[in-house]
Amino acid sequence: MSDIQQLVEQYIAVWNETDPAARRRGIGAVFAADARYTDPLADVTGPDALDAVIAAVQAQFPGLVLTLGPVDAHHDIARFTWELGPAGGESLVVGFDVVAIGDDGLVRRVLGFLDKVPAAA
């Protein structure tokens, strides 16, 4: 397994982590301290803001999990699809992210796109 594949899997695990302390540890292991995350609903920098975004998504969609799709990577950039839904059920949200990885092997930048969003989101 490539280092980038493993990092992306850890990234998805952070989004699925519901224990706040474990999630913060995961953020520290995956993201650079000054990492920026941008999607149509958020534009934040740093671990506190990123943790708040993840917690808000979990509160909006309780019990749902992110599932990773194929990862395509080259150099220090990866793109991948993901789906958010009940385990084993139909996805309510579908999107893809592009991540830039720093020399330290941590995510420095995330550009997120939403392909399917529930009308009430």
What does the pLDDT look like over 42-97, one tens digit per residue? 999 999 999 999 999 999 999 999 999 999 999 999 999 999 999 999 999 999 99
**Per-position b or e across 61-76, b if 16+ CB within 10 A of its CB:** beebbbbbeebebeee
| Backbone φ, ψ for residue 36 (5° rounding) | -115, 135
Q: Which two tokens stand for residue 105?
A: 């092997």
Residue 30 CB neighbour total at 10 angstroms: 23
Whole-angstrom distance, CA of residue 36 vs CA of residue 70: 23
Round to whole Å and give the CA distance between 117 and 121: 7
Instruction: State the sign of the Cα–Cα–Cα–Cα dihedral 38, 41, 42, 48.
Output: negative
Q: What pTM was estimated for this model as a whole?
A: 0.94
The two tokens of residue 28 are: 């520290």
pLDDT for residue 79: 98
Give the pLDDT mean for 21-46.
98
